[in-house]
């Protein structure tokens, strides 16, 4: 039986049951009322009939006749009992068995009431409707007829049962008819449902059920047609999915091949810190070949640096580069990139690891090469430039005066020699400058440059630069002005490099401007500070505005015009500015001058102006015995000879040593008053030699001055008493030696500047041989400021602070002698 039929049958049963029972109940109720009325009527009729017929017998005392009469009425359907009472109320006749119950109500009917109808409830006999009628208006008595309600109920029950039976029969017939009808509908429907289930299960080969002409048939045909269309659609869809899947697989394989064949190691980390993707190169780099780190915590599977980088990139949004140690002692450079997964609210980090072992090695070798080359270049330059200067001096001091003034030819030759010597010295100096610039840019480009980043006041820097360049401009008759806003924000910068940039730009402007002015200006624009150096020079062609920042490129034709610099100044400037996070560019209108501008990111507040500490102090000069002997230690014979010449010219007895070991012997035997020491020597180098000298009591107190091309750190670490950078200026050398040996000369009243935090009170007085005014600065900016203000004299720098200073730059100030003293 179909569900449809069952449901409908249930509904029919319910409806039939409710309606049948309701009808039966209604009928029963109506019947009950009707029968009750009828019984009352009947009882009334009987009572009145008896009342009408019985007066004679009753009056005559013939109870038997009365009894016979009521017995007759007892036979009538529904009559339960009859009794007759005489006028005294005594029972004359009744039909009760075995006795008339006391509970039978005996009402007295008045004259007005023709009749009385009462309910009589008689225990053990049932309920009755008692109709009482007077006989002869009550004069003869009264008759009561009890109509048995059980009769009512019996008739009612029979009627209800008959009705229910009829209903049941009708129901049975209805069910049969309904079953026939529903079967006619449900069978095709069931077949259709079966067909629909098959289609749902993608069985499009199923045949639709035979269709009739009714709605079910229309449905069946429509479903068949739909199934056909669905079949085509599904097969097309399957084909499309297969194509797409194949393409996707190809694409995936393509991408996977790319990832697998990446030379760099690739690692993708999800936001929980788990590795989700990697490639074979990565495993090879970390020596994890054969393992599968996918799904593991990055911190477990890889070095901590990787996890830290991924974490900072995920959570701090900063994705720096880092170096990690790979297996086999190799080094890798990791670049992290965070990205948002498409369609997800999650970020992930891509870590690319590149094996930079070779690059680092190359870098190291390059740095070493540059260091070596610069040393190898500077050493001969020292000799060349030094001797050239000596020759020029001696030529001017000794040869020229001895020439016969009248000999015009000789005089012309001497003038020629002098000019040639000037050229040699100038070119030597230019060559030195070039070497310095090349070293600078090489260091920057290789990233080996050391940066001392700190909040810097641009006003102070600009002031410094302008003061330093003022003499230069003044020589060419140019007006150098500065327009710097006082409330400029501070910038995070390396002060010295910033000064270098400004000097470079100002120097260029001065260099290329024949007449007019050079103006430095600085202003805060937005979140950055913009500095510009403008001049009234010839300007730069538009095509050169960019190229001038490339190495060895200068504006103009370098072949036809004499170069006016190394060509490395602007590239260095660009390196520095970009290293500070800024930009540098040039603007120019040819013929109307040019403007070089650069920007620096501004800090939040203005920089605190460094306090200028000036603490005058006078140090009593001290003298050492046997102060005329100077021991020169250098492995380069030319330098030895040059130093020997210079010192001998200065009036000192000079001994030379080729190596550290030889220097130790001579120092012990000859007892020099002072030693100049090269740091880079074969065998025992200068540092070791100084250490041994200090270790030996006999030589412990001999001052040592280092002359070197080595870096400031090396110089600081050497333990020397004073330092001069090569190429050595003759006068500076002599002054330094003189200071070491005798203290400043009496006539030399040049002041001293002590760079010490406590004003030099704790410094050994032995070295403070200052003939002039002694000043002390505690902070480095104060030192530079003093120098920029044109300080000319000896700068004493404690060894412990020496490594913080750019000594070469310090010694590059004209008229400044730097002495590093032990603290």
Sheet holding 653-657, edge to edge: 653-657, 629-633, 674-677, 704-708, 722-725
> How far apart are CB 55 and another protein at their closest, in Å?
14
User: Judged by CB under 8 A, does residue 180 bind another protein?
Assistant: no
Nearer to another protein, 98 or 342 (CB): 98
Beta bridge partners, 316, equal none
Nearer to another protein, 71 or 214 (CB): 71
> How far apart are CB 78 and another protein at their closest, in Å?
19
Nearer to another protein, 124 or 328 (CB): 124
Nearer to another protein, 53 or 674 (CB): 53
> How far apart are CB 106 and another protein at their closest, in Å?
16
Nearer to another protein, 66 or 753 (CB): 66
Closest to 544 measured CA to CA, from 533, 535, 553: 553
Q: Are 409 and 519 in contact (CB under 8 A)?
A: no
Match 């002041």 to its residue by tokens: 751
Closest to 703 measured CA to CA, from 637, 650, 766, 747: 766
Nearer to another protein, 64 or 514 (CB): 64
Phi, psi of 456 (to 5 degrees): -130, 140
Nearer to another protein, 68 or 541 (CB): 68
Question: Among the candidate windows 67-75, 442-450, 513-521, 786-794, which touches another protein by CB under 8 A?
Answer: 67-75
Alpha-carbon distance of 725 to 740, in angstroms, equals 16
Q: Are 332 and 324 in contact (CB under 8 A)?
A: yes
> How far apart are CB 68 and another protein at their closest, in Å?
4
Tokens of 692: 């041994």
Q: Per-residue string for binding with another protein, 268-307, x by CB under 8 A? A: ----------------------------------------
User: Judged by CB under 8 A, does residue 614 bind another protein?
Assistant: no
Beta bridge partners, 145, equal 82, 131
> How far apart are CB 76 and another protein at their closest, in Å?
13
User: Judged by CB under 8 A, does residue 99 bind another protein?
Assistant: yes
| Footprint (CB under 8 A) of another protein, residues 46-65 | 60-65
Write the secondary structure of 41-88 as one string of H (helix), E (strand) and C (coil): HHHHHHHHHHHHHCHHHHHCCCHHHHHHHHHHHHCCCCEEEEEEEECC
Nearer to another protein, 64 or 240 (CB): 64
Closest to 108 measured CA to CA, from 90, 126, 134, 80: 134
> How far apart are CB 97 and another protein at their closest, in Å?
5
> How far apart are CB 64 and another protein at their closest, in Å?
3
The size of the chain, in residues, is: 823
Tokens of 802: 């020496």
> How far apart are CB 125 and another protein at their closest, in Å?
12
Q: Which helix (H) or strand (E) holds 670?
A: helix 660-670
Crossing angle of helices 63-74 and 3-53, in 10° steps, is 160
Out of 13, 30, 68, 232, point to the residue binding another protein (CB under 8 A): 68
> How far apart are CB 142 and another protein at their closest, in Å?
17
Closest to 752 measured CA to CA, from 739, 734, 763: 739
- Distances from the Cα of 307 to the Cα of 73, 298, 299, angstroms: 118, 6, 5
> How far apart are CB 102 and another protein at their closest, in Å?
11
> How far apart are CB 62 and another protein at their closest, in Å?
6
User: Judged by CB under 8 A, does residue 181 bind another protein?
Assistant: no
Question: Among the candidate windows 94-102, 328-336, 549-557, 562-570, which touches another protein by CB under 8 A?
Answer: 94-102
Q: Which helix (H) or strand (E) holds 596?
A: strand 594-601
Give the three-state DSSP class for 491: strand
185 burial class (0-12, 13-18, 19+ CB within 10 angstroms)? middle
Number of shown-chain residues binding another protein (CB under 8 A):
18
Nearer to another protein, 70 or 681 (CB): 70
Nearer to another protein, 66 or 310 (CB): 66
Return the half-sphere exposure (C-beta side, CA atoms, 13 A cut-off) of residue 149: 14
User: Judged by CB under 8 A, does residue 79 bind another protein?
Assistant: no
Out of 28, 76, 96, 367, point to the residue binding another protein (CB under 8 A): 96
Q: What is the CA radius of gyration of the chain?
A: 64
> How far apart are CB 41 and another protein at their closest, in Å?
25
Question: Among the candidate windows 93-101, 112-120, 391-399, 550-558, which touches another protein by CB under 8 A?
Answer: 93-101
- Distances from the Cα of 382 to the Cα of 298, 352, 641, 642, 659, angstroms: 56, 48, 11, 8, 18
Between the two ends of the chain, the Cα-to-Cα distance in Å is 113
> How far apart are CB 74 and another protein at their closest, in Å?
9
User: Judged by CB under 8 A, does residue 71 bind another protein?
Assistant: yes
Crossing angle of helices 495-512 and 458-476, in 10° steps, is 30
> How far apart are CB 94 and another protein at their closest, in Å?
8
Nearer to another protein, 16 or 96 (CB): 96
> How far apart are CB 105 and another protein at their closest, in Å?
19
User: Judged by CB under 8 A, does residue 89 bind another protein?
Assistant: no
> How far apart are CB 100 and another protein at their closest, in Å?
8
User: Judged by CB under 8 A, does residue 97 bind another protein?
Assistant: yes
Phi, psi of 482 (to 5 degrees): -130, 135
Q: Per-residue string for binding with another protein, 12-31, x by CB under 8 A? A: --------------------
User: Judged by CB under 8 A, does residue 106 bind another protein?
Assistant: no
Nearer to another protein, 101 or 295 (CB): 101
Closest to 624 measured CA to CA, from 519, 490, 764, 514: 764
| Footprint (CB under 8 A) of another protein, residues 631-660 | none
Match 């490395």 to its residue by tokens: 568
Out of 38, 72, 748, 773, point to the residue binding another protein (CB under 8 A): 72
Question: Among the candidate windows 90-98, 250-258, 755-763, 768-776, which touches another protein by CB under 8 A?
Answer: 90-98
Q: Are 289 and 280 in contact (CB under 8 A)?
A: yes
Give the three-state DSSP class for 749: coil
User: Judged by CB under 8 A, does residue 123 bind another protein?
Assistant: no
User: Judged by CB under 8 A, does residue 683 bind another protein?
Assistant: no
Sheet holding 594-601, edge to edge: 479-484, 517-525, 528-535, 594-601, 584-588
> How far apart are CB 70 and another protein at their closest, in Å?
9
Nearer to another protein, 98 or 404 (CB): 98
Nearer to another protein, 93 or 444 (CB): 93
User: Judged by CB under 8 A, does residue 169 bind another protein?
Assistant: no
Nearer to another protein, 64 or 121 (CB): 64
User: Judged by CB under 8 A, does residue 87 bind another protein?
Assistant: no
Q: Are 331 and 357 in contact (CB under 8 A)?
A: yes
Instruction: Please enumerate, as own/partner, the contacts of 336-342 that have beta carbons within 8 Å and a separation of 24 or more.
Output: 336/309, 336/310, 336/312, 337/313, 338/313, 338/314
Nearer to another protein, 71 or 158 (CB): 71
> How far apart are CB 151 and another protein at their closest, in Å?
19
Tokens of 401: 């005066």
Out of 54, 95, 500, 656, point to the residue binding another protein (CB under 8 A): 95
Q: Are 750 and 794 in contact (CB under 8 A)?
A: yes
User: Judged by CB under 8 A, does residue 67 bind another protein?
Assistant: yes
Contact residues for another protein, defined by CB under 8 A: 60-68, 71-72, 93-99
């Amino acid at each position: 039986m179909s569900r449809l039929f069952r449901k409908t049958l249930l509904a029919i049963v319910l409806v039939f049951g409710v309606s049948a029972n309701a009808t039966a109940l209604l009928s029963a109720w109506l019947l009950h009322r009707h029968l009750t009325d009828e019984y009352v009527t009947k009882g009334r009729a009987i009572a009145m009939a008896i009342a009408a017929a019985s007066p004679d017998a009753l009056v005559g005392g013939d109870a038997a006749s009365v009894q016979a009469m009521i017995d007759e009425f007892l036979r009538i359907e529904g009559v339960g009992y009859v009794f007759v009472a005489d006028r005294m109320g005594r029972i004359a006749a009744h039909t009760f068995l075995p006795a008339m119950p006391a509970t039978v109500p005996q009402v007295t009917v008045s004259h007005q009431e023709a009749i009385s109808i009462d309910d009589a409830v008689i225990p053990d006999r049932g309920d009755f409707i008692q109709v009482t009628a007077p006989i002869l208006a009550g004069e003869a008595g009264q008759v009561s007829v009890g109509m048995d309600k059980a009769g009512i109920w019996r008739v009612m029950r029979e009627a209800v049962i008959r009705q229910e039976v009829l209903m049941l029969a009708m129901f049975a017939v209805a069910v049969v008819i309904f079953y026939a009808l529903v079967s006619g509908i449900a069978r095709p429907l069931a077949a259709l449902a079966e067909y629909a289930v098959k289609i749902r299960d993608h069985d499009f080969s199923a045949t639709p059920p035979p269709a009739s002409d009714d709605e079910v048939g229309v449905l069946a045909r429509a479903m068949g047609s739909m199934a056909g269309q669905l079949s085509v659609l599904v097969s097309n869809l399957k084909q499309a999915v297969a194509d797409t899947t194949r393409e996707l697989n190809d694409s995936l394989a393509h991408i996977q091949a790319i990832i697998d064949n990446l030379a760099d190691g690739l690692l993708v980390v999800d936001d929980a810190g788990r590795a989700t993707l990697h490639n074979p190169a990565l495993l090879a780099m970390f020596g994890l070949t054969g393992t599968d780190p996918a799904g593991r915590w990055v911190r477990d599977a890889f070095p901590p640096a990787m996890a830290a980088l991924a974490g900072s990139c995920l959570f701090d949004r900063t994705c720096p580069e880092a170096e990690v140690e790979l297996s086999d002692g190799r080094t890798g450079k990791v670049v992290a990139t965070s990205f948002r997964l498409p369609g997800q609210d999650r970020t992930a980090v891509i870590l690319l690891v590149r094996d930079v072992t070779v690059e680092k090695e190359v870098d190291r070798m390059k740095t070493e090469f540059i260091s070596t080359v610069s040393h190898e270049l500077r050493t001969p330059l020292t000799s060349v430039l030094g001797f050239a200067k000596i020759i020029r001096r001696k030529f001017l001091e000794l040869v020229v005066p001895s020439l016969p003034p009248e000999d015009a030819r000789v005089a012309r030759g001497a003038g020629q020699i002098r000019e040639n010597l000037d050229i040699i010295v100038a070119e030597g100096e230019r060559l030195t400058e070039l070497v310095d610039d090349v070293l600078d840019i090489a260091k920057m480009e290789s990233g080996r440059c050391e940066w001392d980043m700190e909040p810097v006041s641009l006003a102070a820097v600009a002031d410094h630069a302008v003061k330093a360049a003022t003499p230069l401009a003044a020589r060419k008759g140019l007006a150098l002005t500065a327009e710097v806003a006082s409330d400029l924000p501070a910038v995070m910068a390396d002060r010295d490099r910033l000064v270098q940039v400004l000097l470079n730009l100002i120097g260029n402007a001065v260099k290329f401007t024949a007449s007019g002015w050079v103006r430095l200006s600085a202003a805060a624009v937005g979140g950055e500070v913009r500095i510009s150096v403008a001049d009234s020079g010839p300007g730069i062609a538009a095509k050169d505005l960019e190229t001038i920042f490339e190495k060895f490129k200068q504006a103009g034709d370098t072949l036809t015009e004499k170069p006016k610099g190394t060509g490395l100044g602007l590239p260095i400037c660009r390196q520095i500015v970009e290293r500070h996070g800024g930009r540098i560019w040039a603007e120019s209108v040819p013929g109307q001058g040019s403007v070089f501008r650069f920007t620096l990111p501004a800090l939040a507040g203005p920089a605190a102006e460094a306090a200028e500490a000036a603490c005058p102090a006078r140090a009593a000069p001290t003298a050492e015995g046997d102060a005329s002997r100077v021991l020169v230690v250098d492995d380069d014979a030319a330098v030895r000879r040059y130093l020997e010449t210079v010192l001998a010219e200065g009036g000192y007895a000079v001994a030379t040593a080729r190596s550290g070991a030889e220097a130790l012997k001579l120092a012990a035997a000859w007892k020099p008053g002072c030693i100049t020491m090269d740091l880079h020597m074969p065998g025992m180098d200068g540092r070791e030699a100084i250490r041994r000298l200090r270790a030996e009591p006999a030589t412990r107190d001999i001052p040592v001055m280092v002359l070197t091309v080595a870096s400031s750190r090396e110089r600081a670490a050497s333990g020397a008493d004073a330092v001069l950078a090569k190429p050595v200026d003759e006068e500076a050398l002599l002054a330094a030696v003189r200071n070491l040996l005798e203290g400043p000369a009496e006539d030399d009243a040049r002041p001293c500047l002590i760079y010490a935090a406590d004003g030099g009170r704790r410094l050994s007085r032995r070295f403070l041989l200052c003939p002039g005014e002694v000043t002390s600065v505690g902070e480095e900016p104060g030192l530079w400021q003093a120098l920029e203000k044109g300080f000319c004299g000896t700068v004493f720098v404690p060894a412990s602070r020496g490594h913080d200073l750019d000594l070469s730059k310090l010694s590059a100030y004209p008229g400044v002698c730097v002495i590093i003293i032990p603290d």
